[in-house]
Amino acid sequence: MKLWIEKQRYLIDFTLASLARRKARNIGLLLVYTLLVFMLASVTLYTHALRQEAARVLVASPEVVVQRMVAGRHDLIPPGYMEKIGRIRGVQTRTARLWGYYYDAVTKANYTFMVPAEDAPAKGEIVVGPALERSRGLAANNGISFRSYSGKLHTFIVAAVLPQATELVSADLVLMSEESFRAFFDYPVGHYTDIALTVANPQEVKNVALKLSAALPDARPILRDEVLRTYAAIFDWREGIVLALFSAAILAFGILAWEKASGLSAEEKREIGILKAIGWETGDVIKMKFWEGMLISLTAFLVGFVAAYVHVFHFAASMFEPVLKGWAVLYPHFQLTPHIDGVQVATLFFFTVFPYAAAVLVPIWKAAITDPDSVMRG
Amino acid sequence: MLFQPAIIALLLASTLCVLALVGSAPFAVDVIRRWDIRSGSERQLQLERRTYLFSTLLTLVLVLQLAAVLLFVFNAEKMSGMFVGAMCAVGTLNVNAFGFPALNGKIAVFFLAAMWLAINHVDSRARDYPLVRIKYGLLLALAPLLAGSAWAELQYFLDLKADVITSCCGSLFSEGSPTIAAEASALPPIPAMWLFYGSLGAAVVLAAVHGLGGGRQRWSGYLLALASGVAFVATIAGILAFVSLYIYEHPHHHCPFCILKPEYNYQGYWLYVPLFGATAAGLAAGAVQPFARIASLREVIPEFSRRMAAIAANGFFLTAAIASFMIWQSRLILLE
């Protein structure tokens, strides 16, 4: 065992020296390889962080949201609907919620107007999200007017701006009192937008949803788990599509690696010839070449991965953001939480190192079977 | 659901493996028909050179298979969030009928490839390549298996539907359901412990006998391979029947996959890695025994087989020791 390790150490030593002798050629390959790892790792790290972020945001959302459907469209909850739900075992709280969208022609963006369940602002006052603060240049105690859908102008005083930390969920949010909300949208009295239910036991959520649809056939229960699953599937799918597009790049890289490995210079051929003449076997030459590939692969993988980490978590993945994140006028600025996932590193390894290994296999073998006499004579 | 990164990676890996084996099949046929070590002809020289290429290729396939088994389980674990009713890898693998066959196929290919590599290794150490025909015949036999395992995997991934309600470890490994896994889970702890420690102990003793005999006794080599296979199955059954219970500290949760989860500190890897390594080594020691009488292998095989026996003995011992440690650490009282 010790002998074996010693042998590999000497082989690595030799390989490093031989790599250093042909710097220009190997650095070119290393650069391309690193770039490939960098791109792929950026995509996977970024989507994973987004998935985590979505999951974190949804942790605090209610387990079930009930919407009422009329002719397949979302409709208002009429008075008396809450009572019809009645007491379902397992449901801790039932809250009727008021919220809606408002299109602001000035910023050409949609805002979400909402009445908070507790600590609602006083009548005529609003609390705005950070993105709104930026886009309309607002600060606390400023006044702002919105033209409602009925054509009337409503003026509000900004009581506060929501903290930056909540931006992912509150970027376009405008919080107001129930009275202001109903006046602004001409919302019929006693009607609500939807109902939020909290369920303590996660295994009961499905039963609650079943009972709801039995009691109220026109209700559509939306489960938090389903939303989470959909998010995960969407981000995975986006990541998969981008990776599939990159497969062309992987293929091109494979061809490059093949070319580089098979285009042995005369000097290299002579080197192998001499090694064989002084007693190396074909297997030894293959081992040496294997270590060469291994060193290049691991270096590229490590450097590429670290660069991708910096790119995603310090520069907000500026290169792939538009494809992976989605798009909106008032898009929240948010800081992603660094997170590395074992499966992703393993997947990345499959995408980069194995294609490289497969591509250089035949050229390595061709180099290793070179006859010493034919090379040294030529 | 094909557009999941890990699925694309796994399919890429199996495609590479199948292509490598299909690519080497014509060469294998050529070797079986034309190999003649005494000839100095151009063709023989070419064949000899090509054997280097294909043994390197097969090594790559083996490493890929090993990595793919891990990634397959990893990925099943991770995707469990996407299926209603799935809480760990079992639920994901149960989404359709191909999940478990795909996993078992991968494990089988891994062990067979390990045995092939053992034969390849001793053959390349001998001066006259005495096993070359047998080796490539076996390679031809391995190819359909690998292709079958890749096919099962593809079917599994193609048929992954997120709207299927799957059943997870709670129902699959519960004592009442009519599966082999459930039968194993239903084993009462005391017989299961006898089976677990008995088979591991037998494997360790046989490996020690074989190793201390310098790897020269052929019968102990065969017995070691047999004992390794039995110990592998018995250990999995033991994990189902009682080791998992101690790890979860729950008298009814028999799942061999949840122990790989972060909630349980990835303890499962400590059990599975030595178990798989030791089983592969034990099988390899047995796989080379039929050729121990060949003149040029008389020295090579005992030496190789002794080393494999050492790995197997240590690995099985480690598995038993780690399992015992986990049981000792646990706060569950299964036996009064």
Q: What is the pLDDT of residue B80?
A: 77
Confidence of residue B181 (pLDDT cuts 50, 70, 90): low
Q: What is the pLDDT of residue B182?
A: 65
Question: With an 8 Å Cβ cutoff, is A32 touching chain B?
Answer: no
Residues A96 and A155 in one domain: yes
Question: With an 8 Å Cβ cutoff, is B18 touching chain A?
Answer: no
Please give the mean pLDDT across all residues of chain A.
83
Residues B60 and B125 in one domain: yes
Residue linked to tokens 């390990």: B114
Residues A181 and A308 in one domain: no
Mean pLDDT of A97-116: 87
A277-318 per-position pLDDT tens digit: 888 888 888 888 888 888 899 999 999 999 999 888 887 777
The rounded distance, in Å, linking the Cα atoms of B237 and B232 is 9
Strands A125-128 and A153-161: parallel
Most confident of A32-41, A158-167, A352-361: A32-41
Q: What is the pLDDT of residue B12?
A: 86
A211-239 per-position pLDDT tens digit: 888 888 888 888 888 887 787 777 778 77
For residue B288, give the H/E element and its range.
none
Asked whether residue A210 is assigned to any structural domain, the reply reads no
The rounded distance, in Å, linking the Cα atoms of B191 and B312 is 24
Q: Identify which of B199, B192, B221 has the alpha carbon closest to the alpha carbon of residue B281.
A: B221
* Contact call for A241 and B3, based on CB within 8 A: yes
Domain end point (choices B167, B187, B211): B167
Say which residues have a Cβ less than 8 Å from residue B67's Cβ, sequence separation at least 6.
Answer: A346, A349, A350, A354, B13
Residues B62 and B189 in one domain: no
The rounded distance, in Å, linking the Cα atoms of B129 and A179 is 91
Q: What is the pLDDT of residue B165?
A: 66
A56-69 per-position pLDDT tens digit: 777 778 888 888 88
B229-264 per-position pLDDT tens digit: 999 999 988 888 888 888 888 777 777 878 777 778
Question: With an 8 Å Cβ cutoff, is A210 touching chain B?
Answer: no
Question: With an 8 Å Cβ cutoff, is B194 touching chain A?
Answer: no
State how far residue B324 is from chain A, nearest Cα, in angstroms.
Answer: 28
Residues B196 and B121 in one domain: no
Residue linked to tokens 């051929």: A269
Instruction: Indicate whether B81 pLDDT > 80.
Output: no
Q: What is the pLDDT of residue B312?
A: 93
Instruction: Indicate whether A323 pLDDT > 70.
Output: no
Residues A364 and A270 in one domain: yes
Instruction: Indicate whether A262 pLDDT > 70.
Output: yes
Domain end point (choices B167, B193, B225): B167
3-class state of residue B2 by DSSP: coil
* Contact call for A236 and B2, based on CB within 8 A: no
* Contact call for A354 and B81, based on CB within 8 A: no
Residue linked to tokens 């080497």: B24
Question: With an 8 Å Cβ cutoff, is B53 touching chain A?
Answer: yes
State how far residue A1 is from chain B, nearest Cα, in angstroms.
Answer: 10
State how far residue B194 is from chain A, nearest Cα, in angstroms.
Answer: 35
Domain housing A183: 77-192
Residues B235 and B265 in one domain: yes
Mean pLDDT of B184-210: 86
Contact A116, A166 (CB under 8 A): no
A 34-63 → B contacts, CB under 8 A? 44
For residue A32, give the H/E element and its range.
helix A23-59
Q: What is the pLDDT of residue B318?
A: 93
* Contact call for A347 and B70, based on CB within 8 A: no
Q: What is the pLDDT of residue A22?
A: 80
Asked whether residue A216 is assigned to any structural domain, the reply reads no
Residues B217 and B243 in one domain: yes
- The number of domains in chain B is 2
Domain housing B20: 1-167
Lowest model confidence (mean pLDDT) among A94-108, A297-311, A357-371: A357-371
Mean pLDDT of B291-295: 84
Q: What is the CATH number of the domain that holds A125?
A: 2.40.40.20
Most confident of A163-167, A326-330, B124-128: B124-128
Q: Count Cβ atoms within 10 A of the Cβ of residue B158 and give its class: 0-12 exposed, 13-18 middle, 19 or more buried.
A: middle
The rounded distance, in Å, linking the Cα atoms of B247 and B326 is 7
Strands A64-70 and A143-147: unpaired
Q: What is the pLDDT of residue A23?
A: 81
Domain end point (choices B167, B202, B219): B167
Asked whether residue A208 is assigned to any structural domain, the reply reads no
Percent of chain B with pLDDT over 70: 91
- The number of domains in chain A is 2
How many contiguous H segments (helices) and E segments (strands) does chain A have? 13, 10
Q: What is the pLDDT of residue B51?
A: 84
Q: What is the pLDDT of residue B203?
A: 92
The one-letter amino acid code at A297 reads S
Residues B11 and B144 in one domain: yes
Q: What is the pLDDT of residue A328?
A: 62
Residues A160 and A23 in one domain: no
- Kindly identify which residue of chain A lies nearest to residue B83, measuring between CA atoms: A229
The rounded distance, in Å, linking the Cα atoms of B200 and B235 is 8
Mean pLDDT of A324-341: 69
